[in-house]
Amino acid sequence: MGLLDKQFEDGNIVITSIDNLLNWARLSSLWQMQFGLACCAIEMMAASASHFDMMRFGVIPRATPRQSDVIIISGTVSMKMAIRIKKLYEQMAEPRYVISMGSCSNSGGPYWKYGYSVLKGVDRIIPVDVYVPGCPPRPDALLEGLMRLQEKIRKESRVKKNVEGLIQPAPKVEAV
Amino acid sequence: MAELRTEEMVLNMGPQHPSTHGVLRVELVVDGEVVVDAIPHIGYLHRCFEKHAEALNYQQIVPYCDRMDYLGSMNNDHAYVLGVEKLLNIQVPERVEYIRVIMAEFQRIASHLVSIGTYGLDIGAFTPFLFCFRDREMILDLFEMTCGARLLYNYMWPGGLSHDLPAGFVEKARAFIKHFRPAMKELNDLLSYNEIFVKRTANVGVLPADIAINYGASGPTLRGSGVKWDLRKCEPYSVYNKFDWDIVVGTGEMGTLGDCWDRYMVKVWEIEQSLRIIEQALDTLPEGDVQAAIPKRVRPPVGEVYVRSESPRGELAYYIVSDGSQKPYRVKGRAPSFSNLSLLPEISRGYLIADMIAIIGSVDITLGDVDR
Ligand code: SF4
């Protein structure tokens, strides 16, 4: 944006790259899967309730994996649940993101040593984008995690990923 | 006309379902829209409480009690530390017990607020959820200024407390109560007596008192059926016998005695009783050192103890066996949600699928408590 904008008379035009546009759209409407596992889910609920109001970031809970972009693994993942979580993740449409909330889903947390039925980290079954530490993490921490995820999305490049190797990168132009 | 019979269908509800309050799976056998049977499947949140209790020493178990019923952490700790103190045969200063009661009652209110808010959410009312969480945050602020944690506190230790009440706690607690009483009225106007809400919950999931007793139900689920049973009054532990309050029971005001509305309303009324207890405890709070009686090493003599207490969900009990070492031989938790959940098939037969949501919500389970 800059010089080109001035070429148009009515000023009702914004010029940006496809990546920027797509990423902006994606990161500002991250629909979350409404899915609580354990104690951390209560903090996740608190995060979307009055005080912390996660919805102002465009995070709206959806009840089905098919409509959601981000799944927050909020709590202890037991072996029995792990299979279901993998299934749920696979049902989500691309692009999909995972936030692992709390020590339990990061690494097994307090159940690391003796928890025979607890999966020691959800990243053993699905890829995780952002880890939020804490037992439970405060809702503010979850919001921070969310913003980190948005940062990550902002740097993604759909166009480059798809045509990688096919076209030459455009020559660098110095910013004016 | 010959009796018409349609083929039954099995419908799977959960473990990912927005209104099962966690990872519960219910297998519904349905005949059209009518529920023929509902079989709860549990174990999706099994976290090996007993295994941890075998492997850790007495003080280290407290955080795991917190995580059993994560909405009623203080109540869980309370029951457990009472048991350990009974095993050790130590007397704690009176101030400790008073503070514990205050915290436990605040926790009960916080837990009921979550339960009420999410119940409204299940039925389709979104605003009460926000109201409940707004007020719950204030309670959490009180907890936070006391012990630094919002949800899982590790506040009650065998023999004492981790921290004394901070300066300004009593005033802040009083201010909260002053704010909260009118807020409860607002909530009642908004949700409890709301025509749509009453229509969805009254005469649904009727639980007769005898069945409730046979299944070992307790807490608001039992009292909703009109049974006057509350361990804080019937078998007083801690200092509950020093306060003046009433057991509230369901009345069948909107429909039948023991329906979902009654179970819901008992929780609303209980909040008022908890406020009464807290007010009296704040008025008569004795002075003292809250850490004076904490033993250096917890090593109870050989023996066993069974302690019962009233958690927000019902009768919570711990059975602790000591073999004389620093670690308990066994700690078994009797979880109220587990017994209450076993009622589900009994109270959902013959209702519509849509009513299942109202029924599950009214029983108010925490899956951490069911699976432990
Ligand atoms: S990290 Fe802590 S609070 Fe979160 S689910 Fe695990 S035990 Fe519960």
User: How far apart are the C-alpha atoms of B142 and B213, rounded to whole Å?
Assistant: 36
Atom 5, ligand 1: residue with shortest CA distance:
A75
Residue B307 has pLDDT above 50, yes or no: yes
Rounded to a whole number, what is the distance in Å from the CA of B37 to chain A's nearest CA? 24
User: How far apart are the C-alpha atoms of B319 and B264, rounded to whole Å?
Assistant: 30
Helix (H) or strand (E) holding B331: strand B328-334
Q: How far apart are the first and last CA of chain B?
A: 52
Answer yes or no: do A38 and B130 touch at CB < 8 A.
no
User: How far apart are the C-alpha atoms of B337 and B370, rounded to whole Å?
Assistant: 5
Would residue B5 count as lying in a domain? Answer: no
| CA of B166 relative to ligand 1 center, distance in Å | 26
Q: Which atom of ligand 1 is nearest to the CA of A134?
A: 1
B 327-346 residues with CB < 8 A to A:
none
B319: three-class secondary structure by DSSP: strand
- Give pLDDT tens digits for B129-148: 899 999 999 999 999 999 88
B124 touches chain A (CB under 8 A): no
A45 touches chain B (CB under 8 A): yes
User: How far apart are the C-alpha atoms of B34 and B89, rounded to whole Å?
Assistant: 55
B258 touches chain A (CB under 8 A): no
User: How far apart are the C-alpha atoms of B189 and B35, rounded to whole Å?
Assistant: 32
- Section A45-55 average pLDDT: 87
Residue B362: which pLDDT band, with cuts at 50, 70 and 90? Answer: confident
User: How far apart are the C-alpha atoms of B9 and B327, rounded to whole Å?
Assistant: 50
Q: How many domains does chain B have?
A: 1
- Section B162-180 average pLDDT: 89
DSSP string, B98-139: HHHHHHHHHHHHHHHHHHHHHHHHHHT--HHHHHHHHHHHHH
DSSP state of B93: P
Would residue B16 count as lying in a domain? Answer: no
| CA of A38 relative to ligand 1 center, distance in Å | 7
Answer yes or no: do A136 and B152 touch at CB < 8 A.
yes
Q: Which atom of ligand 1 is nearest to the CA of A102?
A: 1
- Contacts across the A-B interface (CB distance below 8 Å): 100
Q: What is the pLDDT of residue A33?
A: 87
Burial class for A6, CB neighbours closer than 10 Å (0-12, 13-18, 19+): exposed
Residue among A37, A99, A135 whose CB has most ligand 1 atoms within 8 A, to mutate: A135
Answer yes or no: do B47 and A115 touch at CB < 8 A.
yes
Would residue B372 count as lying in a domain? Answer: no
| Total count of residues recorded for chain A | 176
DSSP state of B190: I
Q: Looking at chain B, which residue has its C-alpha nearest residue A80?
A: B44
- Section B309-318 average pLDDT: 90
Helix (H) or strand (E) holding B146: helix B127-147
Would residue B355 count as lying in a domain? Answer: no
Among B150-164, B286-300, B355-369, name the one with the lowest average pLDDT. Answer: B286-300
CATH number of the domain bearing residue B332: 1.10.645.10
Residue among B67, B71, B151, B366 whose CB has most ligand 1 atoms within 8 A, to mutate: B67
Strand B9-13 vs strand A130-132: parallel, antiparallel, or unpaired?
A: unpaired
B272: three-class secondary structure by DSSP: helix
DSSP state of A7: G
Q: Looking at chain B, which residue has its C-alpha nearest residue A65?
A: B16
Instruction: Specify which residues A173 forms β-bridges with.
Output: none
| Phi/psi at B296 (5° precision) | -65, -50
| Facing residue for A114 by CB, picked from B18, B43, B55 | B55
Q: What is the pLDDT of residue A176?
A: 45
Burial class for B169, CB neighbours closer than 10 Å (0-12, 13-18, 19+): middle
Query: Hey, what's the torsion of the CAs at B269, B275, B276, B278, to 10 degrees?
Result: 150
| CA of A70 relative to ligand 1 center, distance in Å | 20
Answer yes or no: do B150 and A117 touch at CB < 8 A.
no
Residue bearing the bigger pLDDT, B154 or A169: B154
Residue B114 has pLDDT above 70, yes or no: yes
Instruction: Give 3-state DSSP helix, strand, coil % of chain A, rounded to 5.
Output: 45, 10, 45
> How far is it between the farthest Cα atoms of chain B?
79
Answer yes or no: do B134 and A50 touch at CB < 8 A.
yes
Q: What is the pLDDT of residue A21?
A: 87
Would residue B4 count as lying in a domain? Answer: no
Instruction: Specify which residues B135 forms β-bridges with.
Output: none
Residue bearing the bigger pLDDT, B14 or A88: A88
Residue bearing the bigger pLDDT, A157 or B305: B305
B55 touches chain A (CB under 8 A): yes
B51 touches chain A (CB under 8 A): yes
Q: Which two tokens stand for residue A121?
A: 């980290």
Helix (H) or strand (E) holding B13: strand B9-13
A69 touches chain B (CB under 8 A): no
Would residue B259 count as lying in a domain? Answer: yes
Answer yes or no: do A50 and B47 touch at CB < 8 A.
no
Q: From the CB of residue B174, how many other CB atoms can be counted at a distance below 10 Å?
A: 14
Q: Looking at chain A, which residue has its C-alpha nearest residue B68?
A: A39
Residue tagged 């711990």 (tokens): B318
Residue A124: which pLDDT band, with cuts at 50, 70 and 90? Answer: confident
User: How far apart are the C-alpha atoms of B187 and B40, rounded to whole Å?
Assistant: 31
- Section A144-149 average pLDDT: 91
Pocket lined around ligand 1, Cβ cut-off 6 Å: A 38-40, 75-76, 102-104, 109-110, 135-136; B 67, 152
Would residue B351 count as lying in a domain? Answer: no
B303 touches chain A (CB under 8 A): no
Rounded to a whole number, what is the distance in Å from the CA of B155 to chain A's nearest CA? 15
A12 touches chain B (CB under 8 A): no
List the domain range (segments joined by +) for residue B302: 50-337
Instruction: Specify which residues A72 forms β-bridges with.
Output: A99
- Section B179-197 average pLDDT: 88
| Phi/psi at B305 (5° precision) | -150, 145
Distinct helix (H) and strand (E) counts, chain A: 6, 5
Q: Which atom of ligand 1 is nearest to the CA of B70?
A: 8
ipTM: 0.85
Answer yes or no: do A110 and B67 touch at CB < 8 A.
yes
Query: Which residues of chain A lie closer than 8 angstroms to B51, CB-CB?
Result: 114-116
B176: three-class secondary structure by DSSP: helix
To test the contact with chain A by mutation, choose from B44, B113, B132 the residue with the greatest count of A C-beta atoms within 10 A, namely B44
Answer yes or no: do B43 and A114 touch at CB < 8 A.
no
> How far is it between the farthest Cα atoms of chain A?
69
DSSP string, B193-233: T-HHHHHHHTTSS---HHHHHHTT--THHHHTTT----HHH
Half-sphere exposure of A99 (CA within 13 A, CB side): 34
Would residue B285 count as lying in a domain? Answer: yes
Strand B34-41 vs strand B9-13: parallel, antiparallel, or unpaired?
A: unpaired
- Give pLDDT tens digits for B219-236: 899 888 888 888 888 888
CB B44 within 8 A of CB B313: no
